[in-house]
Structure 1
Amino acid sequence: MEPSSFFHWNGSPEIFKIGSLAVRWYGVLFALGFVIGYQIMDYIFKRENKPTKALENLVFYVIIGTIVGARLGHCFFYEPDYYLKNPLEILMVWHGGLASHGGAIGVLLALWLFARKNPKIKLLWLLDRIVIPTALAASFIRIGNFFNHEIIGKPTNLPWAIIFNIYRGGEIVGTTPPVHPSQLYEAIAYLLIFILLFILYKKRIWQNEGVPFGLFFVLVFVARFLIEFTKAPQAEFEKFL
């Protein structure tokens, strides 16, 4: 198929801009994941007669754990040499660069600290329930990646392949060939995982603690493993210029 026959995603990463301040789709969807996640956990806490004051503290722990973990994960997993030479850049989260696996580690540490400070809420009880909004938030974040024209897939001639813009310094410097929309594959996978976990929770299907948490990790691992075959390493962007 000719490149002209494929969908060219030309959407801007920015919703609007006031002076040098830009409001980006990624940031809005990231925040929306936390807002809806809070509503889901509020429903769970009330349903199971847990103190809502503890939930407010939990949100603080999760936000800090997510941002710090994701940022440090990106800096030291992907570009350690650069950030060791420019340590102040680590603090500049608004410049971009968050790693999902770093965020996962950060959240787990944050939940462990929260459970230690709140002994009435068991860590495993919390993990079994927080995976529900986590799956939904992960779906929103991958949609944000789609708006950012990042985490793209390998070239393909499949009918649903998409051509993305390549950005450097906020400017379009080229386009990709038709590639797999890997971000959307992941977004759909995480949304389905969220729906499944929420249904299981509503129907109280599981009896043993740890089952939802384990199921979440198995499903995410399988989804990531399969979708990884369609993903291009981020360095592949350079080949498209």
Structure 2
Amino acid sequence: MLSYIVWSPKPYIVDLGFTELRWYGLLFALGFIISQQIMFYIFKKEGKTEKQVEVLTFYMVIATVIGARLGHVLFYEPARYLSNPIDIFKVWEGGLASHGGAAGILIALYLFSRKYKDISYLWILDRIVIVVAITATLIRTGNFINSEIIGLPTESNYGVVFGRDVETRINYLNAAIEDVSISKPKNNASLEGIESRLKYPVELTITYSAGNDLAAVKNFTETKLLEQLQNNNITEYAVFGTNPTINYNEKQGQVIATIYGDGVPRHPAQLYEGISHFFLFLLLFYLWNRNRSGLADGRLFGIFLIGSFGLRFFYEFLKENQVAFEDNLALNMGQWLSIPLVLAGVFFIIKSFRAEKRI
């Protein structure tokens, strides 16, 4: 049976000291690498050149990064960035919007089609959405690893307790704290006597550096640390209460405190979108491969717009709003931006069927 999981991986693959190699960056780059190889295959099958794919890849990388960044700036936090324009360039702090990326890609592909007269705008749109779908799968996987764009709380068994923010906030609370980890209880024995009041039990393990007195550790843990655990930024991921069960043990001179609480399972919205885009990729590639020579221009593009942004519209009901102003909207920004793209998808599909009838 499915059961809730506690998710708190490191966002980086390796810490190089001066910088970190992060999973998100790797998956983002991998999306373009895989996409380029697929486009080589598509262009070869349709009599185009590898040089055109190389130029297309350059256009796509630049357009996606700039479009996604400016999309976030303009759609979600214009006041912040317009008052501090230099922050626009701090992409490592996060803040990329898929709708902005889509706008950037549309502009870039128009310029690309103008450069190559044997490639029409709708022709390249139909092919590019195939690889955009697989790239979106990898990017949303990166979002999941980063514990960002999280879903709303759910009572379902497959919910995910995102523990990264809990670990980060506790880790920087005191210099004596050497390590923090949150996980499911490792064995049933540790839950004896408390399992009845915990629906989704989690254990927060705090390792204090060697040399710290047990009494001092207890005093800090049961006062300042417990106070921090009541912070709203932590209780949205795990609830420990004002008098949680705490176990202490000493190992190799270190004091280890284990605090038991109730996790808050949430929808893994990133995975919903990622998996949906993977199946959308399979569908689009199948349709292209089956009837590429007779495919009416705009058909695949329309299917992608409806599938990607139509599902995005509904998934937004399961996700937390990204910025505070969305709380006062009937629909959040992601939903408002998705509506015209879905309608555009309907338009292009109807147009493609009408074009077939005229042939």
Q: CA deviation at 1:30?
A: 0.5
Secondary structure of the residue aligned to 1:139 is helix
Post-superposition CA distance 1:139-196 (Å, at most 9, x none): 110000000101111101101000113549x934536221000000001100010001
Greater RCO (CA < 8 Å, at least 6 residues apart): 1
Aligned equivalents of 1:203 and 1:136: distance in 2?
Answer: 19
Aligned equivalents of 2:122 and 2:91: distance in 1?
Answer: 31
Paired residues for 1:170-209 under 5 Å = 171-172=168-169, 174=234, 176=237, 177-204=264-291, 207-209=295-297
Q: Which moved more, 1:143-152 or 1:94-103?
A: 94-103
Post-superposition CA distance 1:75-116 (Å, at most 9, x none): 121111111121111112222211111001001101111111
Aligned equivalents of 1:112 and 1:150: distance in 2?
Answer: 32
Tell me which protein shows more helix as a share of its residues.
1
Aligned to 2:115: 117
CA contact (8 A) 2:76 2:323 kept: no
Post-superposition CA distance 1:20-75 (Å, at most 9, x none): 30111111110010000000000001111102111111111110000000011111
What's the TM-score once normalised by structure 2's chain length? 0.62
Paired residues for 1:44-83 under 5 Å = 44-83=42-81
Unaligned runs of 5+ in 2: 171-233, 238-263, 325-359
Q: CA deviation at 1:225?
A: 2.1
Aligned equivalents of 2:77 and 2:162: distance in 1?
Answer: 24
Matched, 1:234 2:322: yes
Q: CA deviation at 1:218?
A: 1.1
Aligned equivalents of 1:167 and 1:27: distance in 2?
Answer: 20
Aligned equivalents of 1:92 and 1:73: distance in 2?
Answer: 14
Q: CA RMSD in A?
A: 1.8
Aligned to 2:17: 19
Aligned equivalents of 2:33 and 2:169: distance in 1?
Answer: 32
> CA 1:216–1:198 in structure 2 vs 1: closer, same or farther (change >3 Å)?
same
Secondary structure of the residue aligned to 1:171 is helix
Aligned to 2:7: 9
Aligned to 1:103: 101
Aligned residue pairs: how many? 231
Secondary structure of the residue aligned to 1:234 is coil
What's the % identity of the aligned pairs?
A: 49
> CA 1:134–1:78 in structure 2 vs 1: closer, same or farther (change >3 Å)?
same
What's the TM-score once normalised by structure 1's chain length? 0.91
Aligned to 1:239: none
Aligned equivalents of 1:69 and 1:55: distance in 2?
Answer: 20
Q: Please identify the structure whose Cα radius of gyration is greater.
A: 2
Post-superposition CA distance 1:187-224 (Å, at most 9, x none): 11000100011111111176311111111111112211
Paired letter, 1:171: T
> CA 1:112–1:51 in structure 2 vs 1: closer, same or farther (change >3 Å)?
same
Aligned equivalents of 2:160 and 2:265: distance in 1?
Answer: 5
Aligned equivalents of 1:71 and 1:20: distance in 2?
Answer: 24
Aligned to 1:31: 29
Unaligned runs of 5+ in 1: 237-241
Secondary structure of the residue aligned to 1:69 is helix
Which residue of the other structure, out of 143, 147, 163, is the alignment partner of 1:165? 163
Secondary structure of the residue aligned to 1:111 is helix
